[in-house]
Amino acid sequence: MAEPRLLLIGRRQSTLDVLAEELRRVGRDVVATNDRALIGRILAEWEADLVVIGGGLDEPARAEMRDYVLGISPEIPLHLAPRGEGTSPATALSFANEQVVLYKVRAAAGRDQPEG
């Protein structure tokens, strides 16, 4: 299976750049941005397989971005990184990586299903 492309969305581009670099170190295909126009283009052109929205956005902004993503690509798996005490960009990193692994497991399980 080809590596699924993760679209990582957050508040600060500098933080997103660090997270993307770390995810690439473990072989992940990731685009990390906070640019709404780029997010729209990526989704409209089916250039992402799953989306993670980081916890750096406040709740209204996260809800708005969630609605924006699902308005363009309603079928794309979308995950909201946990927020709250004890969370950080490092926890968003492990959360995003976990979502990629789970995406691959689900895809593999779907291939294992008998036809018919």
- Average pLDDT for 17-29: 96
Angle (nearest 5°) at CA 16 between 31 and 63: 85
How far, CA to CA in Å, does 50 sit from each of 33, 61, 73, 74, 115?
14, 19, 10, 11, 25
Q: In total, how many domains does the chain have?
A: 1
- Sheet containing 78-80: order of strands: 29-33, 5-9, 50-53, 78-80
Please tell me the predicted confidence (pLDDT) of residue 6.
Answer: 98
pTM of the model: 0.91
Please tell me the predicted confidence (pLDDT) of residue 35.
Answer: 97
CATH code, domain with 91: 3.40.50.2300
* pLDDT one-digit tens code per residue, 70-111: 999 999 999 999 988 888 888 999 999 999 999 999 999 887
Its domain, for residue 49, covers 5-112
How far is it, in rounded angstroms, from Cα 22 to Cα 69? 24
